[in-house]
Amino acid sequence: MKQQGRAMLSGAQRRAQLRSRIGKGRLVVAPGVFEMISATVADRMGFDALYMTGYGTVASYLGLPDAGLASYADMVNRVQQFASITTTPMICDADTGYGGLLNVMHTVRGYEAAGACAIQIEDQEFPKKCGHMLGRRVIPAELMADKIRVAVETRSDPNLLIIARTDARTTLGLDEALRRAEKYARAGADLLFVESPESVEEMHTIGKTFDLPLVANMVEGGRTPVLTRDELQSLGYGLAIFSATAFLAAGAAFERVYQTIQSQGSTAGSTVPLYPFDQFSNLMGFDWVSSFDQAHAQKD
């Protein structure tokens, strides 16, 4: 309903748009969104894509850690809700595909129908963990390659991008992560995501190893250096996701404003930056609600 007055694109149009943008040989930057307000704000900023972060979405929707506790049903619900209020192509975290090969097929069908333009699947064992945590374990590479093949075969729209993520770097080393990424590329992945390299040198090695577009996960305080747009592009990356930035900023803002209320018993005189109330109301759609009420007001 908040899309009144905005041109809505079909899922197929958004997927074609995203594939075209990532295929242009330039870096696509996608901020993380994790609930409906962040998705609404980011959608109006003119980004080429948005990234539905698993960590932030699970935290916002369930109040739980990103540790394999969210189900397929939980997450596909979020995909549908995000896609329904945005026009920007959405890249969606699908964890491990929520099970075996049959589950991957079901996940791809459901995410595509819900409006996803790209689906990220990782090679962690279940229950998975956030990609910048220690102790992550991975499934056999051959099984993950089968998951990617099933995902590619299942999509009904050839423009739906399949992102293959490997979490092998932290536990098994960079060489194993590169070997796995190569196997996933041969299985048909459209983008490769070697999670949590630990230096610029490692990122350079990843960049020069593959011809497919590569994903960089820029997590402030995580295991990978946060680089500039130019640095990432020069290293050969095609997609940069800023998965944690928005919820880290939101958490800091929440804490600061609540501390003000707790310590002062009021927000009078507070210096905490606030979105202007009237502008926020319009962002949420109250402007067209007012127009609707006026257009349909009872005539005496």
State pLDDT tens for residues 20-38: 999 777 899 999 999 999 9
Q: Which CATH number fits domain 11-251: 3.20.20.60, 1.10.540.10, 3.40.50.720, 3.40.50.880?
A: 3.20.20.60
- What is the CA 185 to chain-centroid distance, rounded? 21
pTM here is 0.92
Task: Give yes or no for residue 300 having a pLDDT over 60.
Answer: no
pLDDT tens digit sequence for 117-159? 999 999 999 877 665 666 689 999 999 999 999 999 999 999 9
pLDDT tens digit sequence for 241-283? 999 999 999 999 999 999 999 999 999 988 989 999 999 999 9
- What pLDDT score was predicted for residue 135? 67
Residue 164 three-state SS:
strand
Which stretches of 21-116 are assigned E, i.e. beta strand? 28-33, 50-52, 90-93
Query: For strand 239-242 and strand 28-33, is the pairing parallel, antiparallel, or unpaired?
Result: parallel
pLDDT tens digit sequence for 203-252? 999 999 999 999 999 999 999 999 999 999 999 999 999 999 999 999 99
Q: Lowest-confidence range among 165-174, 228-237, 280-289?
A: 280-289
On whether the CB atoms of residues 114 and 83 are closer than 8 A, the answer is yes
CA atoms within 13 A on the CB side of 55: 17
- What pLDDT score was predicted for residue 211? 93
What integer is the mean pLDDT of 60-67?
94
Task: Give yes or no for residue 183 having a pLDDT over 90.
Answer: yes
Q: What is the mean pLDDT of the chain?
A: 93
Task: Give yes or no for residue 299 having a pLDDT over 70.
Answer: no
Task: Give yes or no for residue 2 having a pLDDT over 50.
Answer: no
- What pLDDT score was predicted for residue 133? 61
Domain positions in the chain: 11-251
- Picking from 219, 282, 298, 258, the residue whose alpha carbon sits closest to that of residue 53 is 219
- What is the CA 231 to chain-centroid distance, rounded? 21
